[in-house]
Amino acid sequence: MAETWSGEFYCVKCKEKREADGDVSVSEKGTRMAKAVCPICGTKLNRILGRA
């Protein structure tokens, strides 16, 4: 089961913080990142969570 994260993401298109639920993945450098979709405009959201 994939890890999920819910909280605030910054939407670049709306220029506002949005509440969303996202899936956590690990980048090539070992940083955990939460990825979601903006509930208003549908843009991909990305939040860096820190080292794994």
Taking only the tens place, the pLDDT of each residue in 4-48 is 999 999 999 999 999 999 999 999 999 999 999 999 999 999 999
- Edge to edge, the sheet with strand 44-51 lists 4-11, 16-26, 31-37, 44-51
What are the structural domain ranges in the chain? Answer: 4-51
The sign of the dihedral angle between the CA atoms of 12, 16, 22, 23 is positive
In the prediction, which pLDDT does 38 show?
95
Domain 4-51 has CATH 2.20.25: yes
pLDDT at residue 23 in the model? 96
Q: Which tokens sit at 26?
A: 């690990």
Residue with tokens 């208003």: 40
Q: In this predicted structure, what is the pLDDT of residue 50?
A: 83
pLDDT at 1: 58
Q: What radius of gyration do the chain's Cα atoms show?
A: 11
DSSP state, 52? Answer: -
